[in-house]
Amino acid sequence: MLRLIRGATVAAMALLLGACQLIGNEDAPLTTFRPAGPNAERIDDLFWLVFWIATAIFVLVMGALVLILFVFRDRKKEDAREPKQLHGSPKLEVLWTVIPALILAVIAVPTVSSVFELTGCEDDSMRVELTGHQWWFEFHYPDQGVDTANVLVIPAGEEVCLEMTSDDVLHNFWVPALHGKRYLVPGQTTLLRLEASQPGEFWGHCAEFCGLSHSLMRTRVQAVSRAEFDEWVAAQLAPANLPADGTPEFDGYQVFLNKGCTQCHTIRFDDEASSNIVLSELFNGPDLTHFASRNVFAGAVLPEGGETHEQALARWLADPPNVKPGSFMPNLALTAQEIEDLIAFLESNT
Ligand code: CUA
């Protein structure tokens, strides 16, 4: 029995310490305990309020239980104490109804006000349209005319309003440092207000099971200064450079045009005639103009484990469904040379 209690105590302590190490741990990018903006802070404040109330109740109830167990424990007959026996006590019943009701009322006030505060956006906040796809996030900045994928760049200290929907199934956009989870629903628009107080990079994840590669549907939010954001927008609006004839980049451009990439992907060149046409809305892949300006790709899954952008791209282009099971990007059976050229072309798209 003693061994069992000891084992259970060790297991409970391990769980508790395991949970504590998430607080402030740099290796836990999806922790909710490091809020980096007013919306996430609001949720965090609410969590700690409820946590401490619950902890106080736990300590009080468990303390009373242990005390009663000790005082009224089974002793030798002569000094045994029988607790007072009672059946029905209006005073006690009122007490244990009123106290929990008061506690719930205290929790309800900030909870309900937070729920309303966190739903919807300020009228003048910058809009970004977010569309979920199996398995990547598409961002469109309607006022700036910028299209990008997986990496959301926002100005720090300003509220950005995500107008979210889905192209296929339910997804859920979750960047724990900046806000809670919210669904992306096909045929509906949901709103999510995002604000990062300081510049930084924040990790996000799809939080609704959406098919085979749900676990590989991630995102990054990069908060930068207003000046850097304006620079980024200007760079994104610039057309892609058409590579010069005879360079590896040009060979890669030819692979891009002739091996089927343009069925799903767009790259916006200066020359109208060289612009690619997405042949089918059904196979709508990320806009690859300025692809190399994104530090992550393929659903923000690559590069991983210390590999370079190029190494990850080589692995991805060789066999996409091997990296992301179920990927709609097929294995195009590219040769090593074609992959090398394609990488040179894509990496020149800064
Ligand atoms: Cu999208 Cu899970």
- Asked which of 56-60, 73-77, 277-281 is least confident by mean pLDDT, the reply is 277-281
| Shared domain check, 273 and 206 | no
Report the half-sphere exposure of 233 (CA within 13 A, side-chain side): 17
Ligand 1 pocket residue status of 208, Cβ below 6 Å: yes
Q: pLDDT tens-digit profile of 22-53?
A: 665 667 788 888 899 999 999 999 999 999 99
Q: Are 337 and 331 in contact (CB under 8 A)?
A: no
| Shared domain check, 212 and 252 | no
3-state secondary structure of 74: coil
Considering its fold, how many domains does the chain have in total? 2
Locate the ligand 1 atom nearest the alpha carbon of residue 184 and give its number. 1
Ligand 1 pocket residue status of 132, Cβ below 6 Å: yes
Ligand 1 pocket residue status of 133, Cβ below 6 Å: no
| CA separation for the pair 277, 300 (Å, rounded) | 25
**Local structure of residue 269 (DSSP, 8 states):** B
| Shared domain check, 295 and 191 | no
**202: left (phi > 0), else alpha (psi -120 to 50), else beta?**
beta
Q: Of the candidates 174, 202, 237, which is a domain's last residue?
A: 237
Ligand 1 pocket residue status of 317, Cβ below 6 Å: no
| Shared domain check, 213 and 70 | yes
Q: pLDDT tens-digit profile of 247-295?
A: 998 899 989 888 888 888 888 887 654 555 544 455 688 888 899 899 8
Ligand 1 pocket residue status of 218, Cβ below 6 Å: no
3-state secondary structure of 347: helix
| CA separation for the pair 297, 149 (Å, rounded) | 8
Q: Of the candidates 237, 271, 306, which is a domain's last residue?
A: 237
Question: Does any domain span residue 258?
Answer: yes
Q: Of the candidates 217, 237, 257, which is a domain's last residue?
A: 237
Question: Which domain CATH number covers 156?
Answer: 2.60.40.420
Confidence of residue 88 (pLDDT cuts 50, 70, 90): confident
Question: Does any domain span residue 5?
Answer: no
Q: Measured between alpha carbons, how far is residue 17 from residues 11, 32, 330 in Å?
A: 10, 16, 44
Q: Residues 6 or more apart from 212 whose CB is under 8 A from it?
A: 325, 326
Question: Does any domain span residue 17?
Answer: no
The full DSSP string for 174-232 is E-TTT---EEE-BT--EEEEE--SSSEEEEEEE-S--STTGGG-EEEEEEE-HHHHHHH
Q: pLDDT tens-digit profile of 121-154?
A: 999 999 999 999 999 999 999 999 999 999 999 9
| pLDDT over 90 percentage in the chain | 56
| CA separation for the pair 135, 219 (Å, rounded) | 10
pTM above 0.75, yes or no: yes
What is the average pLDDT value for the chain, to the nearest integer?
88
pLDDT at residue 280, rounded to an integer: 47
Question: Does any domain span residue 200?
Answer: yes
Domain range holding 184? 30-237
